[in-house]
Amino acid sequence: MSQREIKDPSGNVVMRVTEYDGHLFPANIFGDVGDTLKQLNEMTFQDSDICVVSYPKSGTHWCYEIVSMLRNNTSEFQTVVPPLFGMFPVEKLKQVPNGVYVSHLVPRHMPKDFIKKQCKIINIYRNPKDVVVSLFNFIKKTKAGDLMKDMQFDVFFGMFMNGQLPGGTWSKYMKEWTDFTEENPSYPFLNICYEDMKKDLKGHVKKISTFLQLDSSEGLIDEISKKCEFQTMSKFKNNHVPDYMKKLTDVQDSHVLYRKGEAGDWKNWLKVAQSEALEADVQAANVPLEIKYM
């Protein structure tokens, strides 16, 4: 484990990270990464526990909201920050009442007991072109991005492609999870495509309910689908920003985890060469998922 300073092409330090087991973690959030992951591995879980996993800015919180509503048999929004493996202290994670978690970790860093008990996992994945745009706009508003507030998108895109951001490259992250599912074909694992869920939210709420083996009523599924349309959900979230967000960002008048929620915004940001380079990187990694470059 080592501390690293990520520099831009001009030599300016733009982020401080911790490198551990081949991955980068934001130094000011995870603290001692080795100790944090060790504590996670000492946690015990219920067979019925669930985790939404994803590369950052892929619809994690959107999917979590749906899973939490289904699990609690309600269409009421959560007013807390989702319990994220690695960011939440283990003692707080142990107090999660409904057994629904979120994670940006790769499989080998997931809590051992969670994997051993084959707790259900839902992976929501998104067109990486929209991911990099969303991540750029998000991270500059966080405390982890204090040193890159004036950074141009082209520089950030280069960092994204070179794996200089927490989480590494999108393609390597996704490949680790698809390799995991291929090596563990009996594991209860559901892939959800962000763009498909945008097109047919109700159908995906039903799919998630079926995967979780819940007897959700048609009325509840319909209500959750309406409440979790992006504009409705983001309006509520922006009016109910949890206090815990102060640890993540200095922006207090809105919920920084919710921006546009669009599919295809990348066309306003990426140059042709950048778009082609990202597609080539994903293809070279042989990620066996259907990616919707909308």
Per residue of the chain (294 residues), give pLDDT as tens.
688 888 888 898 888 888 889 888 887 666 688 888 999 999 999 999 999 999 999 999 899 999 999 999 999 988 777 899 988 889 889 999 889 999 999 999 999 999 999 999 999 999 999 999 999 988 877 656 566 878 899 999 999 999 999 889 999 999 999 999 999 999 999 999 999 999 999 999 999 999 999 999 999 999 999 999 888 877 776 766 666 655 565 545 544 455 555 778 999 999 999 999 999 999 999 999 999 987
132: three-class secondary structure by DSSP = helix
Q: Quick check: 21 and 165 in contact, CB under 8 A?
A: no
Q: What is the DSSP letter of 244?
A: G
d(Cα 187, Cα 291) in Å, to the nearest integer?
Answer: 22
* Sheet strands side by side (includes 13-20): 2-7, 13-20, 23-26
Predicted local confidence at residue 244, as pLDDT: 60
Predicted local confidence at residue 255, as pLDDT: 46
* Residues paired with 3 in a beta bridge: 18
d(Cα 78, Cα 104) in Å, to the nearest integer?
Answer: 20
Look at the alpha carbons of 260, 271, 172, 163 in this order and tell me if their dihedral is positive or negative: negative
What is the value of pTM for the model shown? 0.90
81: three-class secondary structure by DSSP = coil
